[in-house]
Structure 1
Amino acid sequence: MPSALLVLASVLTVTTVALDNGLMRTPPMGWLAWERFRCDIDCEQDPKNCISEKLFIDMADRLSEDGWRELGYVYVNIDDCWSSMERDKQGRLQPDPKRFPGGIQKLARYMHDRGLKLGIYGDMGTHTCGGYPGTPLDKIKIDAQTFADWEVDMLKFDGCYSNSIEQAQGYPLMSKALNATGRPIGYSCSWPAYQGGLPPKVNYTQLGEICNLWRNYGDIQDSWDSVMSIVDWFFENQDVLTPAAGPGRWNDPDMVSVEPLYLDNDVSSR
């Protein structure tokens, strides 16, 4: 176990050329909703745990008031199931009006007022993994601009309901679209996870030019076996993964690292 953890450290610290947006010079640290709260949208029966602005405000308060922010945990990241099932009349994504009555921009400003950053989730496909509106190729520019208008600081871009050809076009296009907005938005790509995580299907040189962060492997589950499967995979493939990482471009073992991307999801119970 100690040697495996040291391997993860090396995966995250080798210096190479990075995406030229000036972001994530060190591994991003913060809190993500998915592993603990999944796609719980039942705010009537489960108001404390449902995906809503209240949940993310509560998490922001914990990071800012309980000392986590000073340790570097500054991202509060929304995952899937945040949006309405329909785009608005202008074709823009919109948050669910009942669960996010203040809108995403108001939530972003709540984070910023506390020295935190807001992350959001999108999907390079017709639908998100949870069945919400995705971002197909013809919606990439408008969605990137929408996130910028909302003052979002990071985008996690998943890959459900898309194929390899669409992903090869869409992931680089979203990188360009985010940069074109003029707002600094960290870009987390799930592309390699959908291509098996390894060359020749995955081009890590290209990834470092378009993404700040990328998922290499499958989702973490709430079990020790899941954690160990991720650690083992990184250990077995360290010769490929280590040279790919460095300031501004990081391997993402999905909440498992020496400098963790995501804080313990059960922080609300502390």
Structure 2
Amino acid sequence: MLKTKYWCAVLVLFVSLTAFGQKNAALAPTPPMGWNSWNWFGKNDINEKLIKKIIDTMVKEGLRDAGYNYVIIDGGWRDTKLGPNGELLAHPVKFPHGIKPLADYAHSKGMKLGVHVVPGTHDCAGDAVGGLGREEVHLKQFVEWGLDFIKIDRCQYEVEGCGTCSKNDGWNEQNIKEVYEKWGRLLKNSGRDILYSISAYEYRDWYPATCNMARTTYDIRSRIHKGGVDFVNPLKIKKPHLSVMDIVEENNKAAEHAGNGYWNDPDMMVTGVQGLSDDEQESHFALWCMMSAPLFLGNDPRFMDQLEKELILNKDLIAINQEPTEQGRIIKRAGNTQVWVKKMKDGTRALLFLNLDPTCQQEISIDLKSLGLNKAVKVKDVIGHQELGVFKDKITMKVNIHQSKVMLVTNQE
């Protein structure tokens, strides 16, 4: 009898996880794309008029049609306190009409809307607006507002009655898992398709069965690697974050877990006038595409220069990103250079040569045999938009400082 009960429980768990996995895959069959307010506007500089302008601009500039269809209002949209029944309140000055009218507006433009919330007791600024113990109340609001995306950011969790504890001392691995899995179950059964994004700053093996995307690192900073120059929006507080390559190296460790509706999230991007050179911006965006990362812009799309616009709208790079076969990964390191590969469905290989040397151009090469390809292949330069012809036995390129070369490589018939 006990054995029967045990196997029944196992079967129920298997069916539940399978159903959740199927819903995950349906919600995010490819890496989600969109825009997030935090990198550029921070907490203090967002309001409902701005969000409407961002939505309009994304439609006008072709971002929506290229796949960037989510607009995420990060920290700063809430009031500093909860309502009398524990409900979330929109900031009365910045969002006087609440969130639902913005969701309706986004939907009228063929876009989707999401917000940032916190699962503990306080948000990252110390306001007591957390969802701990109020998850059902807050979820009911999200459904009523017509939201399409929830970013749940592991901010502060105060231990009640502990005067010497920091505001993060309440968190441990057990309750992090419990809280985020509870949100996963609630969202699954909410009756509305809401994409679930976890922001808890490192990869955990229960993420793929719980959410659609999850951060694998702390926040990004706009420099290519350690030793670079930080760009700091003068309206924001400067904080120690991770460079592009710090994040890339960490995100690469979780490559095998991406796919089937779950995607490793290396944070919003820092394209545009945020401190990276033109070549560094191209390398940054290309790496996010190779890693099958969620592509969330962290810029002000109202003021994009031509290089940024062409880069983030590059159809071949986006196609590489949206190919759900696998997360691309590093296959060769030599000095300050890297070679990345991502297998595509039709047998094509997306290939990236990266020069991280801060002082000089580097020659980078890869043997075709190591890519599982024939002795002769056709190569297309994805960023340069040109066919490079036929290469035999190996591919060799000269790559400038902090530049990347991204190629589509196919067997010659």
Query: Under TM normalisation by the shorter chain, which class is it?
Result: 0.7 to 0.9
Q: What corresponds to 1:18 in structure 2? A: 21
Residues 1:71 and 2:66 are matched in the alignment: yes
Q: What corresponds to 1:174 in structure 2? A: 183
CA contact (8 A) 1:35 1:221 kept: no
Pair 18,179 (structure 1): closer, same or farther in 2 beyond 3 Å: closer
Spell out the pairing of 1:50-199 with structure 2 (5 A cutoff). Answer: 50-162=45-157, 163-164=171-172, 165-191=174-200, 193=201, 196-197=202-203
- Distance in structure 2 (CA, Å) of the matches to 1:37 and 1:74: 19
Deviation at 1:131, TM superposition (A): 2.6
- Amino acid paired to 2:263: W
The count of residues paired between Structure 1 and Structure 2 equals 232
Q: What corresponds to 2:207 in structure 1? A: 207
CA contact (8 A) 2:131 2:138 kept: no
Pair 161,19 (structure 1): closer, same or farther in 2 beyond 3 Å: farther
Q: Which has the higher contact order (CA 8 A, sep 6+)?
A: 1
Which has the larger helix fraction?
1
CA contact (8 A) 2:27 2:261 kept: yes
CA contact (8 A) 1:83 1:132 kept: no
Among 227, 248, 251, the residue aligned to 1:231: 248
Which has the larger strand fraction?
2
CA contact (8 A) 2:220 2:267 kept: yes
Q: What corresponds to 1:249 in structure 2? A: 262
Deviation at 1:222, TM superposition (A): 2.8
- Amino acid paired to 1:18: G
Unaligned runs of 5+ in 2: 1-19, 158-170, 226-242, 270-287, 305-413
Q: 1:47-86 deviations in whole A, cap 9, x for unaligned? A: xxx1111121111001111111110000000101210112
Among 26, 32, 37, the residue aligned to 1:28: 32
- Provide the aligned C-alpha RMSD in A: 1.8
- Amino acid paired to 1:244: H
CA contact (8 A) 1:81 1:132 kept: no
CA contact (8 A) 2:39 2:268 kept: no
% identical equivalent positions: 36
CA contact (8 A) 1:63 1:69 kept: yes
The 10-residue stretch of structure 1 (113-122 or 50-59) with the greater mean CA deviation from structure 2? 50-59
Pair 19,88 (structure 1): closer, same or farther in 2 beyond 3 Å: farther
- Distance in structure 1 (CA, Å) of the matches to 2:75 and 2:22: 25
CA contact (8 A) 2:213 2:265 kept: yes
CA contact (8 A) 1:123 1:134 kept: yes
- Amino acid paired to 2:217: Y
- Distance in structure 2 (CA, Å) of the matches to 1:166 and 1:130: 21
Unaligned runs of 5+ in 1: 1-16, 41-49
SS in 1 for 2:23: coil
TM-score, length-scaled by structure 1: 0.81
TM-score, length-scaled by structure 2: 0.54
